[in-house]
Amino acid sequence: MATGSLSEDIALRIGLAARTLPDTDPARLIRVLADAVGLPPTAESLAGLKVKDLKQAADGEFAHLDQAELKAALAILKGEGMEDADPPPPIESYAEGDMPDSIRVACASNHGEELDGHFGSAHCFLVYQVSAKENRLIDVRVVDETKAGDDRNAYRAGLIADCQVLYVASIGGPAAAKVVKKDIHPIKDPNGGSARERVVALQGILAGKAPPWLAKVMGQAPEDRIRFDRDEAEA
């Protein structure tokens, strides 16, 4: 299939989008796009593309793929997030033991300190240490796809393996399974916004009556988790 007429921008979009889809290389994605929008794909034709179009094209080549993964790929195909990214904020000083009773939280991000990253395509993970009293951005972990190997989801989950909570704009089922396997609790927040605001809101939860899943994350004893369950049932 001839693709020489692809512009550099569209070729880059296709290459990046293919990375977010399981078992998909640019050639496979181009075959689907050829049926969905024709060749060569252009910015104009991709702008009108919908998830259902990707699912139906090429005799349902992508029909089995997770909706969230297809949405992430579609956003890249449309050029969303392709502009120069704002740099993340400076990392704050932290040493183990500085913040008693704290947990570690990752936020998938593409720009600055925004929670706007899909798990399979986010440029980096902002990592915060969070307690009831304070929060600190202790690390920014940049995704290097050249190190991902055959399992990109496992690689990304490994980047945040020391975290207990993950905030992400969207995440597919297979990717979520990889995250949960690392004992990380994923929270989807499709509205995005400020990562720091999510962390501050979590502080308030830590300061109050933690729900059972968070009590477990914090290492609460089973009897304490049972108490949380009872309290919630009586509320």
CATH code of the domain covering residue 134? 3.30.420.130
* Per-residue pLDDT at 221: 54
* Per-residue pLDDT at 84: 52
* Per-residue pLDDT at 24: 86
* 185 and 141, same domain (yes or no): yes
**pTM over the 0.85 mark:** no
Domain annotation covers residue 84: no
The two tokens of residue 7 are 């512009």
Q: Which residues of the chain have pLDDT under 50?
A: 1-3, 222-235
* 31 and 136, same domain (yes or no): no
Domain annotation covers residue 49: yes
Give the whole-angstrom CA distance, residue 54 versus residue 37: 10
* Per-residue pLDDT at 187: 93
CB 121 within 8 A of CB 76: yes
Domain annotation covers residue 173: yes
Give the whole-angstrom CA distance, residue 101 versus residue 103: 7
201-231 b/e with 16+ CB inside 10 Å = b?
A: ebbeebeeebebebbbbbebeeeebeebeee
CA 90, 91, 96: angle at the middle one, nearest 5? Answer: 165
Residue 131's φ and ψ, nearest 5 degrees, are -125, 180
* Per-residue pLDDT at 230: 39
Q: How many domains does the chain have?
A: 2
CATH number of 39's domain = 1.10.150.590
* Per-residue pLDDT at 83: 56
For residue 120, what are the contacts with CB-CB under 8 A and spacing of at least 6? Answer: 19, 20, 21, 69, 72, 152, 153, 156, 171, 172, 175
Q: Which domain holds residue 146?
A: 103-230
Domain annotation covers residue 2: no
Helices (H) and strands (E) in the chain, counts: 10, 5
* 131 and 220, same domain (yes or no): yes
Which residue, of 77, 92, 117, is where some domain finishes?
77
Domain annotation covers residue 60: yes
